[in-house]
């Protein structure tokens, strides 16, 4: 599952976010959103795998973002042109609707 999670992240385009649930569904287990979060928290290479692009089902950023906390996740998203308000992104605007 871990490999599929990181594989998915490599495809997320600049300026887009995905939810933990989307990633879980891609791995074949749509109920594994929490497991996805745990995998992302142990990301072996933050520069290769852009885990900062993962948000919860309501667009909230991670309070426990592994690479510098919620402020760093916010900065990384904003650097891609993603508007963050109150540590939340508008999924209607920024969610990537990938095709398999």
**How many structural domains compose the chain?**
1
Catalytic status, residue 100: no
Domain assignment present for 38: yes
Domain assignment present for 99: no
Domain CATH code at residue 68: 1.10.10.10
Domain assignment present for 81: yes
Domain assignment present for 100: no
Domain assignment present for 82: yes
Where does residue 92 rank: exposed (0-12), middle (13-18), buried (19+ CB within 10 A)? exposed
Q: Pick the catalytic residue: 9, 23, 39, 51?
A: 51
What residues have CB less than 8 Å from 41, skipping those under 6 apart? 64, 66
Which range of residues forms the domain containing residue 43? 2-94
Joined together, the tokens standing for residue 47 give 């520069």
SS3 assignment, position 30: coil
- Other C-beta atoms lying within 10 Å of the C-beta of residue 34: 11
pLDDT digits (tens, 9 = 90+) for 32-76: 999 999 999 999 999 999 999 999 999 999 988 989 999 999 999
pLDDT digits (tens, 9 = 90+) for 65-98: 989 999 999 999 999 999 999 999 999 999 999 7
pTM here is: 0.92
pLDDT at 10 exceeding the cut of 90: yes
């Amino acid at each position: 599952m871990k490999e599929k999670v990181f594989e998915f992240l490599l495809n997320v385009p600049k300026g887009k976010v995905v939810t933990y649930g989307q990633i879980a569904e891609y791995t074949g287990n749509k109920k594994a959103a929490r497991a996805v979060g745990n995998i992302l928290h142990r990301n072996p290479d933050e520069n290769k795998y852009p885990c900062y692009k993962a948000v919860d089902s309501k667009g909230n950023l991670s309070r426990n973002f592994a690479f510098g906390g919620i402020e760093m996740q916010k900065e990384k998203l904003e650097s891609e042109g993603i508007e963050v308000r109150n540590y939340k992104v508008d999924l209607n605007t920024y969610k990537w609707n990938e095709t398999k």
